Amino acid sequence: MQAADLALISEEANAALMRGDVATYRALVPRTPDFTLMSPFGGPPSREADITEKIWDGLSRFFRNGTLEQELIETYAGTDMIVLVTVERANVEVGGLPAQDWALRVTLVYQREGGEWRLAHRHADPLRHPITLQQSAALGRGAAS
Chunk the chain into consecutive blocks of 10 residues (it has 145) and report each block's average pLDDT, rounded to whole numbers. Answer: 93 97 97 96 93 94 96 96 98 96 97 95 95 92 76
Q: How far apart are CA 141 and CA 114, in angstroms?
A: 42
Residue 58 has a pLDDT of 93
Q: How far apart are CA 68 and CA 16, in angstroms?
A: 9
Residue 145 has a pLDDT of 52
Residue 82 has a pLDDT of 97
Residue 143 has a pLDDT of 84
Residue 103 has a pLDDT of 96
Residue 1 has a pLDDT of 75
DSSP string, 57-68: HHHHHHEEEEEE
What domains lie within the chain, and their CATH numbers?
3-140 (3.10.450.50)
- Classify 65 in phi/psi space as left (phi over 0), alpha (psi -120 to 50) or beta: left
pTM above 0.85, yes or no: yes
